Amino acid sequence: MRDAAEFWNSVADRYARRAIGNPEAYRFTLERTRAHLGPEDDVLELGCGTGSTALLLAPHVARYTASDLAPRMIEIAREKARAQDAANLEFIAAELRDPRLAERPRDAVLALNLLHLVDDLPGALAHIHEMLRPGGLLIAKTVCRPGRDAPILFHLAPAILPLLQWLGKLPRFDLMKVETLERHIARAGFEILEAGNHPPPSRFIVARRA
């Protein structure tokens, strides 16, 4: 299986050209995320990819830092930011535990389409908890194991995905049940304020640091 940074570097240019798979769900997630952010907020986005979401949300907050472990993703994001002249937006090539990301407490940490990709979810959530000021928000969207009413192709995924990962066609990730994800978030010291599917099997969660 390929290293995560190596995998995402290799697909970054193709990823940047790819159209959004479900534009309606993406817009709804953006709307719900924006509803929890304020004009004075200092926001950190983890796993920002090529920066599309960061560029849309940054105008609504005071300060926005967007990070990704793949340097090529960040190169593309910076090219986009220069074209948009986003003065309050900084892109950093960094892993989750890079000390640059924890240099000050944040009002919100975004982990959109990320938590199913991390190797140590309890450890990652504990670190995110430390990054936030008391009362700060974790806003996450996570691909989860499909429920009984999901299309048949989703139910075949757990059998097919390990082979594709072994072949280097997909990154390593963990398809958790929604209940498992929410239990991990609660155990890390968060109170879940909002949860929903945008769309199934992606679970959108807003949780406050206790």
**Cα gap 138→128, rounded to integer Å:** 8
> Pick from 194, 200, 160, 209: which is nearest to 178 by CA?
200
- Are 184 and 122 in contact by the 8 Å Cβ rule? The answer is yes
Mean pLDDT by 10 residues, the chain (210 residues): 82 94 94 98 98 97 98 97 92 97 97 95 98 98 79 58 57 86 98 93 95
Domain that holds residue 116: 4-209
The percent helix, strand, coil of the chain (3-state, each to 5) is 45, 25, 30
Closest CA to 203 of 128, 134, 122, 138: 138
Beta carbons of 107 and 43 less than 8 angstroms apart: yes
* Contact indicator for 112, 43 with CB cutoff of 8 Å: no
Tell me what pLDDT residue 139 has. Answer: 98
pLDDT given for residue 152 in this prediction: 55
- The pLDDT, as a whole number, for residue 61 is 98
- Number of domains into which the chain is organized: 1
Q: What's this model's pTM, rounded to 2 decimal places? A: 0.90
pLDDT in tens, 119-177: 999 999 999 999 999 999 999 999 998 866 555 555 556 666 665 555 555 567 788 99
CA 38 distance to own-chain centroid: 19
Write the CATH number for 51: 3.40.50.150
Sign of torsion over alpha carbons 17, 175, 22, 150: positive
- d(CA 88, CA 57) in angstroms, rounded, equals 11
Give bridge partners of residue 132 from the DSSP assignment.
106
Angle (CA) 131 132 136, round 5°: 165
Q: What is the pLDDT of residue 174?
A: 83
Nearest Cα neighbor of 140 from 85, 182, 104 is: 182
Q: Output the pLDDT for position 160.
A: 63
